[in-house]
């Protein structure tokens, strides 16, 4: 199946199957003669599973049914880089629960089925099982949309089996084949996934060109200083980086199957494979005519995860998020945010009792011998949201090794309130810092609030003081200049 064909199938998955005049209904469930609450979850993403597990805890007698179009559930796409590094068997470690596990909790999971439409007035869903044409229906008292996201796709006129996205198990296996062949590869998009994949491939003798439409890589996650530093790391291992460049089309040579990628600055680049990593879009197709949609077409939810449709909630990569310091809800597909939303939705299913705390947009990318992690706002985003912010930088080197830690710390000018941090380090434990700072941001703490915290002694570094003490000192020094 070619790239365009696969893209078309992905986007229209919910509406591509035929219907039959035979309509079968699922009967309501009685338990001890009493009608139980019926909860339907569409999607077995991180958010959907988090919701179902917490809902079973909160509502032990409820009937919970999950609908999933894939055969497997709970796939951890974050395991793909580990799989490509040869550190995990994706078939064993790519899923953290199963249909059988959920069945033991009396959670029914229907896989290999597509929900085609929802009647919000009747509170019914209609779905079709794979390889059948019967249109089945099921009713609900509460409906949870956990339909996730799909990869953003360029509008190329060319078609090739050697153009790949990064989303599921089959995508991971395709990328493993690329490594074995040591082909020439073009990666489109230098977000977290794009740079991660580019680095992994380059370290395995694959010639990589990384094409990105913005002025620096990782532009949604870090400021230019860290981005430039990491770009140099990529270039040192052979990755060719092309910034302010948009891939506009591709063509396939019928004889040798080589792919030519055309760009907006009239350049042409040749490759054996193209990996598309230009972001994700919310899968809000089922509710597009009924629910309020927001940033990027994501389903707008309130702080209790309720949508504009009565008795319908939305969680995870199909829904909006509230981020600390950002004035409006945004689309932020992120695994930890999805799990938070799923759990909060379960608490607020019948009654709005607990609002979700704003996200700090905390990320961690563990590469081979390198960690990049972030929390809060970048300096650029803080200033754009009207915050009088400043940034300081510090580096701490190990005493007897080549290990180091670099941090770009963002704070409010007069109050010293913690706004955000970006870390690049050869020590994977550096990600502990962003978790601490994420909590501090959520509590609106200043660096002085943390300066004398009882954190562990940083033995092995040239400066063994706690990182919060170092940051407080650097801010004082900057203000004396």
Q: Which structural domains are found in the chain, ordered by start?
A: 13-78+85-149+281-347 (3.50.50.60), 163-278 (3.50.50.60), 363-480 (3.30.390.30)
Please name every residue paired with 423 in a beta bridge, in sequence order, or none if there are none: 373, 407
Other Cβ atoms closer than 10 A to 440: 22
Q: Which two tokens stand for residue 437?
A: 């700072």
- Please state, in angstroms and rounded to a whole number, the distance separating the CA atoms of residues 323 and 79: 26
- Please state, in angstroms and rounded to a whole number, the distance separating the CA atoms of residues 391 and 15: 49
Can you give the length of the chain in residues? 481
The gap between the terminal CA atoms of the chain, to the nearest Å, is 63
Q: Which residues of the chain have pLDDT under 70?
A: 1-35, 74-76, 88-95
Pairing verdict, β 418-425 and 404-412: antiparallel
Burial state string for 366-399 with b = 16 or more CB within 10 A and e = fewer than 16: bbeeebbbbbbbbbebbeeeebebbbbeeebeee
At 253 the three-state DSSP class reads: coil
Other Cβ atoms closer than 10 A to 260: 15
Burial state string for 460-473 with b = 16 or more CB within 10 A and e = fewer than 16: ebeeebbbbbbbbe
Q: Which two tokens stand for residue 241?
A: 């980086």
- Considering just the CA atoms, what is the radius of gyration of the chain in Å? 24
Q: Which two tokens stand for residue 77?
A: 């796409």
Please name every residue paired with 207 in a beta bridge, in sequence order, or none if there are none: 184
H/E stretch holding 442:
helix 431-442
Q: Which two tokens stand for residue 462?
A: 């040239």
- Please state, in angstroms and rounded to a whole number, the distance separating the CA atoms of residues 420 and 441: 7
Q: Which two tokens stand for residue 381?
A: 């985003």
Other Cβ atoms closer than 10 A to 444: 12
Burial state string for 303-338 with b = 16 or more CB within 10 A and e = fewer than 16: ebbbbebeebbbbbbbbbbbbbbbeebbbbbbbebb
- Express each pLDDT in 421-470 by its tens digit: 999 999 888 889 999 999 999 999 999 999 999 988 888 899 999 999 99
At 74 the three-state DSSP class reads: coil
266 CB-near residues (< 8 Å, 6+ apart): none
Contact (Cβ atoms closer than 8 angstroms) between residue 176 and residue 187:
no
Residue 209 burial class via C-beta count within 10 angstroms: exposed 0-12, middle 13-18, buried 19 and up:
buried
Q: What's the pLDDT at 5?
A: 47
- Please state, in angstroms and rounded to a whole number, the distance separating the CA atoms of residues 407 and 433: 10
Contact (Cβ atoms closer than 8 angstroms) between residue 319 and residue 151:
no
DSSP-derived secondary structure for 193-236:
HHHHHHHHHHTTT-EEEEE-SSSSTTTTTS-HHHHHHHHHHHHH
Other Cβ atoms closer than 10 A to 3: 23
432 CB-near residues (< 8 Å, 6+ apart): none
Q: Which two tokens stand for residue 114?
A: 């597509």
- Please state, in angstroms and rounded to a whole number, the distance separating the CA atoms of residues 326 and 344: 21
């Amino acid at each position: 199946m070619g790239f365009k064909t696969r893209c078309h199938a992905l986007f229209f998955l919910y509406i591509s199957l035929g219907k039959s005049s035979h309509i079968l209904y699922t009967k309501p469930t009685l338990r001890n003669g009493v009608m139980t609450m019926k909860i339907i979850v569409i999607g077995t993403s991180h958010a959907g599973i988090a919701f179902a597990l917490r809902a079973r805890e909160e509502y032990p007698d409820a009937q919970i049914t999950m609908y999933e179009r894939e055969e497997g559930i709970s796939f951890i796409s974050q395991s793909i880089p580990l799989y490509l590094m040869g550190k995990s068997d994706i078939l064993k470690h790519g899923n953290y629960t199963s249909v059988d596990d959920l069945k033991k909790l009396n959670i029914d999971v229907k896989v290999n089925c597509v929900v085609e439409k929802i009647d919000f007035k009747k509170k019914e869903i209609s779905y079709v099982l794979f390889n059948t044409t019967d249109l089945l229906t099921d009713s609900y008292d509460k409906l949870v949309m956990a339909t996730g996201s799909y990869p953003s796709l360029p509008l190329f006129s060319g078609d090739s089996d050697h153009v790949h996205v990064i989303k599921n198990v089959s995508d991971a296996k395709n990328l493993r084949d690329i490594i074995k062949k040591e082909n020439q590869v073009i990666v489109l998009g230098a977000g977290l996934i794009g740079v991660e994949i580019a680095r992994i491939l380059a370290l395995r003798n694959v010639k990589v060109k990384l094409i990105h439409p913005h002025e620096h890589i990782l532009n949604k996650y870090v400021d230019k200083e860290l981005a430039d530093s990491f770009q140099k790391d990529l270039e040192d291992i052979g990755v060719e980086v092309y910034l302010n460049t948009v891939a506009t089309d591709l063509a396939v040579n019928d004889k040798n199957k080589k792919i030519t990628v055309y760009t907006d600055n009239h350049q042409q680049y040749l490759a054996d494979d193209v990996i598309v990593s230009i972001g994700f879009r919310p899968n809000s197709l089922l509710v597009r005519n009924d629910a309020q949609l927001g940033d990027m077409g994501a389903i707008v939810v309130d702080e209790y995860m309720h949508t504009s449709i009565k008795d319908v909630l939305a969680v995870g990569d199909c829904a909006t998020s509230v981020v600390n310091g950002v004035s409006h809800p945004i689309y932020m597909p992120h695994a930890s945010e999805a799990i938070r939303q799923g759990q909060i939705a379960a608490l607020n299913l019948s009654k709005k009792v607990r609002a979700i705390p704003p996200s700090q947009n905390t990320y961690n990318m563990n590469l081979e011998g390198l960690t990049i992690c972030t929390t809060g706002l970048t300096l650029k985003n803080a200033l754009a949201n009207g915050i009088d912010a400043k940034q300081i930088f510090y580096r701490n080197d190990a005493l007897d090794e080549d290990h180091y830690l670099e941090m770009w710390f963002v704070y409010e000018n007069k109050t010293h309130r913690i706004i955000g941090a970006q870390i690049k380090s050869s020590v994977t434990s550096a990600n502990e810092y962003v978790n601490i700072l994420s909590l501090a941001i959520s509590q609106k703490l200043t660096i002085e609030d943390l300066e004398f915290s009882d954190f562990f002694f940083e033995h092995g570094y040239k400066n063994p003081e706690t990182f919060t003490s170092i940051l407080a000192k650097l801010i004082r020094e900057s203000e004396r200049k």
